[in-house]
Amino acid sequence: MPLTTRTVALLHLRTRRPHAAGYQAELDALNASAARTVMRLGWEPVLVPTAELPTADTHAAARAADLIVLMGGEDVDPRLYGVRVDYPGSGHHEPRTDSTHIAVVLEAMQHHKPVLGICRGMQVINVALGGTLVQHLPTVERHRGAAGSDPFVRTAVRIESETDLDADVDVAQTVRCTHHQAVDALGTGLRVAAHAADGVIEAVVHESAPLTGVQWHPEHPATADAQLAPLLRRLERQAESMPARAGR
């Protein structure tokens, strides 16, 4: 069933975080770039700061949207995938937001609604489907900039030939990463779609649902038109090929 209104819910964490203003500014810039990209496609972005809203409001926004994007942010609460809470690089967690985003992913799958997960969002998708995460990468310096500098590292990724991701996403110019965690054991139904040179999983796709996750930041202002826009279009096409969605 073709998407008509093309409303895109951009689910992120918050709009204010006074104890880490610099980090919040980075997230705000990425969120704004994603919203601009959605508007350039002729669609309507709806920014949803889940940690600041009642859970019901996030669910309502996700149900009203034609496409959902889970944006980057804090580490996923490790209790949701059954490992220790104390680990290198651990920081602030948002357990209620994590649980809400997981519920959104599972409900979207029931209705064949397309979902894109970016960085933390990809990790949320994997945990939602029963997967686990590498809590702190041994090669973290290859995936996150040093403190006090540009947080984004330019990384080359290799898209797996058995997926069709390379037909839509141009990663020839490299991608921009900033993360210290990654997908470990895959969630049910997911397939690896891309790796970094050191073997870190950089993208996953679902074998039967319009569900894609990328560990890098396609919404970075320098790459959004070449990388985020095609990912959204790809998910739109996948949704159009699915059976009619039953309600919101």
Question: Would you name the residues annotated as active-site residues?
Answer: 119, 217, 219
Which one-letter amino acid corresponds to residue 154? R
Contact predicate 7/64, CB 8 Å: yes
Q: Do 197 and 156 form a contact (C-beta atoms < 8 A)? A: yes
Contact criterion met (CB below 8 Å) for 69 and 11: yes
Write the burial class of residue 165 (CB in 10 Å: 0-12 exposed, 13-18 middle, 19+ buried). buried
d(CA 139, CA 58): 35
Beta-carbon contacts of residue 230 (< 8 Å; ≥ 6 apart): 168, 169, 170
Q: Where are the beta strands (DSSP E) in 3-142?
A: 7-12, 44-49, 67-70, 115-118, 133-134
